[in-house]
Amino acid sequence: MTTTATTSELTDLLSGVRNAIGRHADWNRTAQDVGAALRQHFPGPDILTAEQRLGSPDGHQSHTLHVEPDGSFSVIAVVWRPGQLTRIHDHVTWCVVGVLEGVEHEELFDADLRLIGASDNHVGEVSAFAPPGDIHRVHNTFAETAISLHIYGTDVTRIGSSVRRYYD
């Protein structure tokens, strides 16, 4: 199911993701392979309409671009206005994120919620990770809107979210 982007805009990326998943590797290796596919077939922010790229003043806004018919992965674009952030959370499956526009600030935490790293992820940068060890928070600390592409190893529209749990 493709709900926003036209199939032609994502065809090569989706094929690369399918090939990576088809290797039936563990989650860490799959995330790395999907990350390589995203780097090779990196789309621009124009996969969203101009209206979608505006985001929402109420919080970061997600747009489902594709859900694989067998539920093996989802492609979601997320628009972050300045100052918007997530709660600290982890995931139900592997995840790959690429920044399409702007900058995303990411903080990484250990199992005791101690900050163990932080980075500013710029356009074209891709990160790939899998549980355990995927506790993080994303924040747009910059003055411009940021847009990122998230590829999750499940049908997030069916389960409602990629988040396994939130931390206080």
Q: Which of 104, 97, 108 is nearest to 142 (CA)?
A: 104
Predicted local confidence at residue 4, as pLDDT = 44
DSSP 126: E
Q: What Rg value do the Cα atoms of the chain yield, rounded?
A: 15
Domains of the chain (ranges, CATH numbers): 7-156 (2.60.120.10)
The SS3 assignment for 25 reads: coil
Position 8 confidence tier, pLDDT thresholds 50, 70, 90: low
Q: With 0.95 as the threshold, say if the pTM is over it.
A: no
Q: What is the mean pLDDT of residues 65-79?
A: 96
Predicted local confidence at residue 168, as pLDDT = 81
* Partner residues linked to 126 by β-bridges: 98
CA-CA-CA-CA torsion sign (101, 118, 60, 161): positive
Residue 53, number of CB atoms within 10 A of its CB: 18
Residue 3 scores a pLDDT above 70: no
For 90-147, write each residue's pLDDT tens digit.
998 999 999 999 999 999 999 999 999 999 999 999 999 998 888 999 999 999 999 9
Check residues 133 and 30 and name the one with the higher pLDDT: 30
Predicted local confidence at residue 162, as pLDDT = 84
Predicted local confidence at residue 7, as pLDDT = 56
